[in-house]
């Protein structure tokens, strides 16, 4: 628990630091002016695309769950959205563990097998993000600091190796070397068996390709929302679709750092830094980033909290559930 508290404190400190840097030397009147000039019509297609993105997340996870448990798309959609909402509200990013526990109970499947599909889901998201960044950075000739295509190419290579491992996990874990190790440590036999169950979705190459394809389309939906918000704030001359994709990758790096629940500060700082590269002023960039973040947060968290309670849980019970397992 001490390690968790330390990690949470570090995340809270980093989020507050980013917020301080964002508001330092900021012209508040100009930021409010950009808010007042926002075209709120774009919130309608934004919400629609966000719901499609959540649906695609559910489709992707259901494909991964198929070898482990039978689940309807709506059940998976509810659990997926609930897990994202929990991550947005509670500390320790406990939403993934809570989602796995709720799914294991609902589908009567082993927790380890279900949780391994969530790890696999994150790996698919990472590889999809790498592909999107590599493509848009090539189009925009984008290279700054550690955001260099060559570094992401290396990361993509290691992600690809991880996917190869998952595709051949059963062969690896049934190899003579591993079986010899397992015979000396029988207590891990059942545990590894359940991990294998969670990785079965990639034993079928077509299903593995489909999972990755859905992940790419899912993230392109978020790119589209980034672009629509740029139009809403009159930033279309600065932000095209490719640059909206690079903003997505920048914010993905930002929220992957330790942060307070909801990723406030991290998200905005990363987006403002990316927008500054194309000549967008700090006030306009912060108005864009904060409005984009808050809009998505309200829709996703509100819907997710509703599903948490409709599934017979509460935020406090989910927190206790995830804390015990983590």
Tell me whether residue 281 is exposed, middle or buried, using C-beta atoms within 10 angstroms of its C-beta: 0 to 12, 13 to 18, 19 or more. middle
Collapsed DSSP state (helix, strand, coil) of residue 23: helix
DSSP alpha helices (H): ranges in 141-281?
Answer: 149-167, 169-173, 176-184, 189-198, 205-232, 241-256, 266-276
Collapsed DSSP state (helix, strand, coil) of residue 204: coil
pLDDT of residue 67: 84
* DSSP secondary structure of 83-108: HHHHHHHSGGGTHHHHHHHHHHHHHT
d(C-alpha 239, C-alpha 245), whole Å: 10
Q: Are 276 and 282 in contact (CB under 8 A)?
A: yes
- Non-local CB neighbours of 250 within 8 Å, separated by 6+ positions: 147, 270, 271, 273, 274
d(C-alpha 155, C-alpha 258), whole Å: 20
The tens-digit pLDDT sequence of the chain (326 residues) is: 566 777 778 889 999 999 999 999 999 999 999 999 999 999 999 999 999 999 999 999 999 998 888 899 999 999 999 999 999 998 878 889 999 999 999 999 988 888 888 988 988 898 888 888 888 887 887 765 555 656 666 666 776 676 666 666 666 666 666 667 666 666 665 556 556 655 666 666 678 789 989 999 999 999 999 999 999 999 999 999 999 999 998 999 899 888 889 999 999 999 999 999 999 999 999 999 999 999 999 999 999 999 999 999 988 888 877 666 66
Task: Tell me the whole-structure pTM to 2 decimals.
Answer: 0.86
Collapsed DSSP state (helix, strand, coil) of residue 291: helix
183: its two tokens? 């015979």
pLDDT of residue 138: 78
CA distances from 39 to 29, 109, 230 (A): 18, 47, 10
pLDDT of residue 209: 83
d(C-alpha 95, C-alpha 294), whole Å: 19
List beta partners, residue 147. 144
Residue 109's nearest CA partner among 60, 76, 57, 65 is 65
| Residue where the block lists tokens 């403002």 | 272
Displacement of CA 41 from its chain's centroid (Å)? 26
Q: Are 95 and 118 in contact (CB under 8 A)?
A: no
pLDDT of residue 167: 63
pLDDT of residue 35: 94
d(C-alpha 241, C-alpha 159), whole Å: 25
């Amino acid at each position: 628990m001490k390690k968790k508290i330390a990690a949470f404190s570090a995340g809270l400190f980093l989020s507050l630091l980013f917020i301080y840097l964002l508001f330092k030397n900021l012209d508040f009147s100009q930021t409010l002016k950009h808010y007042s000039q926002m075209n709120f019509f774009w919130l309608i297609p934004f919400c629609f695309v966000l719901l499609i993105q959540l649906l695609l997340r559910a489709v992707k996870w259901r494909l991964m769950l198929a070898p482990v448990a039978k689940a309807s798309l709506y059940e998976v959609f509810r659990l997926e959205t609930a897990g994202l909402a929990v991550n947005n509200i509670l500390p320790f990013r406990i939403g993934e563990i809570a989602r796995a526990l709720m799914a294991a109970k609902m589908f009567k499947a082993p927790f380890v097998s279900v949780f391994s599909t969530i790890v696999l889901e994150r790996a698919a998201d990472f590889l999809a993000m790498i592909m999107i960044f590599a493509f848009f950075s090539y189009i925009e000739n984008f290279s700054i600091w550690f955001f260099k295509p060559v570094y992401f190419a290396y990361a993509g290579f290691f992600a690809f190796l991880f996917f190869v491992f998952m595709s051949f996990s059963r062969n690896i874990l049934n190899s003579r070397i591993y079986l010899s190790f397992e015979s000396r440590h029988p207590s891990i036999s059942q545990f590894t068996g359940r991990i294998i169950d969670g990785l079965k979705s990639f034993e079928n190459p077509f299903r593995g390709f489909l999972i990755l394809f859905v992940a790419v389309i899912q993230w392109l939906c978020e790119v589209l929302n980034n672009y629509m918000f740029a139009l809403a704030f009159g930033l279309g001359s600065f932000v095209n679709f490719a640059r909206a994709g690079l903003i997505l990758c920048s914010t993905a790096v930002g929220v992957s750092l330790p942060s307070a629940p909801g990723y406030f500060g991290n998200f905005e700082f990363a987006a403002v830094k990316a927008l500054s590269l194309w000549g967008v002023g700090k006030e306009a960039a912060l108005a864009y980033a904060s409005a984009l973040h808050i809009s998505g947060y309200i829709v996703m968290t509100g819907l997710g909290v509703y599903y948490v309670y409709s599934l017979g849980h509460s935020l406090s019970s989910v927190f206790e559930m995830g804390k015990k397992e983590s």
